[in-house]
Each structure stands twice: as structure tokens, then as C-alpha cells.
Structure 1
Amino acid sequence: MVMQSTVVFRRAQEEDAAVIAKLRQEIWSTTYRGIYPDDMIDQFDYAWHTQKDAQRIKSPAYAVYLMMQEDHPIGYITLHISVPAHLLSLYLRQEYQHRGIGRRAFAFIREVFQTLGVSTFTCACQPDNERAMAFYRRCGGRVVGEDLSNEESWQNSVTFQFYVMRETDLVIRIIQSMDECIEFVRGFHGDAQFSDPMLTNEEQFQTNLVKCVEHPDRHCALGVYLGEQLIGLFTFLVLTEERYLEMLVGLSRDRRAYAEMFRYLERHYPGYSADFVFNPKNYLCKQLLEERHAEFEPEQQKMVLDVPVTDLDTSGVELFTPEYQEPYLSMHHQETYWTGEKVLAAADRFRVFLAIHEGKVVGYLDVTYCFEQNEPYDLFVLEEYRRMGFGRKLLAQALKCNGLKGMMAMVDVEAVAAIRLFESVGFQRAKHENNVTAHWTVPEGGNGA
């Protein structure tokens, strides 16, 4: 018997067969309605199922466990422990789902198979059960078979394979192909805690993931594996001449993966400045950065252009010209990667708009223009000229030149005035897409401690 938090995994006895059959009947009614035929659920043969479960409980080829909470049965697990090892059932009552119990149960399943010396096991899933499909992907499952041609669709299945690993099997290596990680990435879609804010659309997927794998000259794509199972995926922009790193994607639910990633950076990039942009709810990444004394910026609220407000005043706003270079550079923020000098050097990426008042540059906006969804990187107005509408005019001109393309912006969550400014020209707050940026200097020495 193994206890994890308030959940106990107890080996089932023959007298538990009726309890398991009753759980199956309830879970089919709540979870599989619309997937299994109604008559299969409504005419559930309780006696037949009880007998089948009793046979499995007695058989040495199976291991059956009840999940108990405060002596109350909340689900069950059925494993085929003879060769080939197979997870037959992982059922949890509806009111106990989405509490992390399923993940604890899957960790327990791996422990059972590891104790038995099993290296891999499989599980078949009904493909219309989208939540279960996503769950098995999040647990590291790799699709190894499909049976989708049955006349009765409820009989279709997708087979996942899982690896059972030991701690000593932890390795990190360069990702060579998207085929290695695509299923792993899909498993994080919609995860409020561990999804990556830099993978919210197809353009980001191509830029921050695919490009990193296919163009290793300026990028690094790292996979952390337990045995053959991918448990962490990290991609970086690497600017060797500037000794600079930026984490573009960081996906893992395992602290060991983050620790291994940091050790890799310490071995290979000592002395580099590194920026990490990640999900504010990703406590694992945050903890490892805090342990390394990283500096954190305030959480950023993502704003997405919905319907731009038309006929906005843009008077006094001009596109940058060389005659304004000196005042633009003198007022530009320096505590950022994209300094004024770098922005001007990246004319294929940025437009710079200037707010001019009585011949004086009083503000600027750096905004990208080469993407399907562009972004204002830096908006600044001299303090004595604020609350005079210059910020709104700069945004209005950027939107006018942006045409039919999309636009998003990141704003400090506590910067109420800035959020209202973006809302005034047609932006809305995006849910579950905020980010936090941390700055860390990789220590010299490269000992990977």
C-alpha cells in the first residue's frame, strides 16, 4: 500500500470486485456518455463485470488497485503485469478529476512496473476521449499504434507507449528532429501551469521551436530524457558574439529537467547573460532561477489587438529619420537587450515612430512590422509630456501602418494606466498568456554544480 498526499493506492482483494464494478458503471455514465453507446451504459451488466474483476484480482497476470481517499473509493487501476505489460484501466470519479490525482496515479503505476523490472508498457485509449488522450501525452506517452477502422467508432483505439525509468537514466542531448518532440509539445497545450507563453500561435511555434531545431547555428534545442522518455524541452537563441542567451521555449513538469538544463548552460555557456521568459505559474522554473539569484521583472499582462479603433489622432507622430538619431538614442532605455542602437540596426524587423512637439522629440515607439502578429517593444514619453496624448498617438500610428496584420503587447500587470492606454485603441487582455522575464548571468567556471 502506497500513500501519496491524501490518496491511498491499495491492492484490491476479491471482495473489492463489486466496488470496482460499481465505480466503472458510475464513471462510464459520467465520462463516456456520448463515446460509448447509450445501451452499453444504461444496460450495464453489473454481475458480469463483478465476475470479470474478481477473476483479474485473483490472477497473477494482473495487479488491481483501488484509489482511496479517507477510506472512500474514488477510482481504480488495472494493470496487466505479465509480458507484454499494459495499463488496462485508470478510472477516476468525475468529482476527483483535475486535482492532480491522475498524475499521482500515473507515477504510482510507473513505480509498480519499475519494481517488477518492466522497462516499457502500453495503454489503449478511445480517440474520442480527448481529455484522456491529452492526459496520456502529458504523461510522456508516444503513439505506437492506431485502430480506427471499426464499424462501431467506440471500438476504435490509439495505443500509447510509456517508458519506466531510473534516476540514473537522466541525460540531456541536442534535439535533432521535430519528430522527437512534437507529441511532447502537444501535451502542454492548454496547461495553465506549465504551458509556454512563447508558444501561443503558429508563428511562435515556427520561430521559437521549429527554427531552433532546424537552424542550430544560432540556436540550441535541448531535450532532457529519462531513458528514452522526453521529460523536458528547452530552446535557446544563442548569440555567441554577444555572449547572450534567451530561452525561447521551456517545457517540463519535472524539476530534474530544469536542473539538468541549468547544468548544461553552466558547462557550455559560462559568463553568458541569459534571459528567461516563462509562465508566471511555472513554479519549477521560478524556483531554479531563484536558487541562482536571478533578477525578475514584474509579471507581464498580454494584450491582443481585437478591433482597432479607427480615426485616431496621429498628429505630431513621424517615422524615424536620421536627423532625430541623437535625441532618440539619448532618451532610449538602455537596460534592455533591444537598445536604440540595436533597434536601428534591425531595420528589417523594427519601425521607430517619434512623437514631435514644437520640433522636439518627446517620445518614441519601437514596434516590429515583419510578423503576422507584431509587437510594440518599447513605448516611452518624456515625463513632462505625459498625459498629453502622445502615447496614444504613437500607438495609433503604429496600428495604421500595421495594416491587416495582428498585434500584441506585453504590459506590467500593475501598470493600470498603460493597460487602459492599449485598451483605448482596441486591445483586450488575453487570458492565461502572461509571462515573467528573469535575467541571469551564467557563472564562470562551468563545473555544472
Structure 2
Amino acid sequence: MARKYFGTDGIRGLTNVAPMTAEMAMKVGMAAGKHFQRGDHRHRVVIGKDTRLSGYMLESAMVAGFTSVGMDVVLLGPMPTPAVAMLTTSMRADIGVMISASHNPYSDNGIKLFGPDGYKLSDEDEAAIEALLASEVALAPAAEIGRARRVEDARGRYIHFAKSTFPDDLRLDGLKVVVDCANGAAYQVAPSALWELGAEVVAIGVEPNGKNINDQVGSTAPTTLQETVVASGAAIGIALDGDADRLIVVDETGAIVDGDQLMATIAGGWARQGRLAGGGVVATVMSNLGLERHLAAQGLGLVRTAVGDRYVLEKMRASGYNLGGEQSGHIILSDYATTGDGLVAALQVLAELQRAGAPASEVLHRFDPLPQLLKNVRFKGGQPLEAEAVKAAIAESEAELDGSGRLLIRKSGTEPLIRVMAEGEDRAQIERLVDRICDAVQKAAA
């Protein structure tokens, strides 16, 4: 059954416009709370958020929803998404909530839910919660209404956890690191963790005001990071997104290192140490063909999934892999975390850099990527991919590639966008094919 509210990463939308309203947040709290009231113990939910202005409103609404059905609430304040997942399990909570729209602008917000095991919800759980959203949820008797409390040391708990994933035999002393926290959820924890490990930290994107999250900073806008790395003479730059589950790196020359290169770096190091499970890496259909060829040259495999870190994780769990991720920088290290963790992934990259004793520009660019181009076409409604003109443009482009590259055209799971990607040996050809398909989609969506 098609889900009405849940996309590929929870519920997301423009704040104060359905479904991202305080009323909906309260209803989600009631429905999710009722769904996860299993067993006869006192039930608990952990709630974190990023730094968006609307986070206060949605947090309060969700507290009302959860407590109204008898769940106790633990409030973490601004915390990375992976910290919420980790603290959900360590605090023995029945459910975890992250209020965030990730890399989107401040005007958007979202609700991500985690089960008691710290993993994002299954399709079945989301369907059950949606069914409850459409019904009258029974409220708790007056004596059984839940309580809410704020945990003041949540940041310290996550910093300790993140540092524990860094190899015991290594230090970051003498390494100048620029960290861009996107004015988001990691604005306190990421610089602190790096400093405690010995790095000389230059922090940017650490002055959130409720409206500047992801605004010309962070993993989706790395220009400021690039400029700061070069100007400060840093060895490396680390960019997180608004909820810190995504990582992009900049080397000492200012060149960007994407998620594919980072997965190649970590995979190579773990394979040498005998730590890489499954004999390879799990990535999405968006990952560059160059990554696949690079891994194959080392006797390692690449398994592809649909776009979305939840699908990467599902494949990792089903097939015994411990490294997977997306080109966009969601990197899942299942030895440590149940979801993507930008800071933990960055620490593994820094470990490889320290072991190599060479500049980031030499260590982190592991393969030459094939020309790849992705463009987004916004649409207001309908099914533009079903238009005959769009189908014809796609078929014509596939025929022109004739097996020498790839096309990937899909609807975004979080925004009203059609994403058009092409990859191949000839950049000019790739640009022409993408423009052809985008033009057809635009006309169909008009």
C-alpha cells in the first residue's frame, strides 16, 4: 500500500503547510506512541532536533502527542540524527524521534522515527502508524499521562561514543582540521570531539540562529569550507549537513571528496586490516562506475540498491556488509551505528589520513570518476515520467549510450523533483542527454 505521509526518510515538508504542521506532529506522536506501546514496562520516547526555528514548535507538539497516550519523553535538544538513534537504544527507549529536514533550508522540517533497536522504521511500522493517523487514538487516563524531562548531558554522551570509534593507537595532534557544521545539529559536538582527539580545529557553520541552517554552509554548499581550508592552510576540511548524518570532505588544495571516494578510502583501509565484512561495499545506483571499477581491481565487490540510505542499510543487514553509503555522503558503518553518521565516518577518514602520513589530496582521491551529471526538474503535480514524450526522450538517450554508460531517472522521495542522471565516457554526450530528458520533463510538467 502506498504511504501517504512517509517518504524515503520520514515525513518532510514546508513548515506550517500540511503535513508539516504542529497538529500533524502531535498526531504522529500519538500514533507512534500507541504503536510502540508494547510490553508492560513504562514506555519512553527520545526526541532530538536540529537548529531550525520550527523545531521548538514541532518538539512541543510531539511532546503533547506522546504524553497524551501515556509515554514519557526524554528531550535531547539539538543533536545529530545518529546521536538520537544511539541514545534511543542506550536509554532503552521504545522509539526515537529526530526533528529535522536534513540538508533542506530552514523553512522545511521533518520527522524521522527510529525503533527501539535504533534503526529507521520498516515499511510495515510506517504503514501501521499511518493507519493510526487516520483513526481516533485512545488517550491515556489522567493518572497515566506521560512526563517529559530534558537530559542535560546528551552532548557529552554522544561525544564520548564518537571518540570511542577512533582507533586507540592514533591521535590527531598537529592536524589542522576545518569542520563545517552547517549551523546545524552538530555545531557543538563535532568541534568538541575533534579537539578532544588532539586536532587543531577551525570551526565554521557553528552560529545557528534558527534560519541559517544549511545556508551557504554544510555538505551541500561546500564553497565556504573550500575557501577556509586553503586560507587557513588546513590539512583537511569536513562538512556535515543540517542533521549531521552526511559527510563531504575537502582536501588541502580545496578539492571536494565525495561519498564515493570516502567509501573507497574506508573500504581500502578496512580490507587491509581484515575488517571489511561481506567482501565489498553496498552503494546506490547513483554511485559512480569508477568506484565499482576501483573496488573490483582490489578484488572487492559493489552491490547497488535503490536511492536512499534505508535501502543501503537493509541490504547491509540482509547480506552481512559493514560498510555502505551514498555518493551524497551518507556513509553507514554498521560496526558502530544503525544509520549514517557524518562525524564517525569523518573519524575513519582521518584515521586513514594519519596512517598514510601523506596529504589528503594523495590519500583520498582513490579513483578517476566517470563523467556524471545530475539535474533536478521541479514539478507541481501529475506524473511527468508517464508522458509519452518523456519516455521517448529516455529511450532515444539509452539507444545513443548503447551500453557505454548509464541513465537514471527517478522521482525524489523527499521533494517534488524529478532527478535526471547520466554517466558515461563522453562528458559532452552526457550533458546533451541530460538536457534532452530535462527539457522533455519540463514540458510534460508545465
TM-score, normalisation: structure 2? 0.28
Task: Point out the structure with the larger helix share.
Answer: 2
Flag the structure with higher strand content. 1
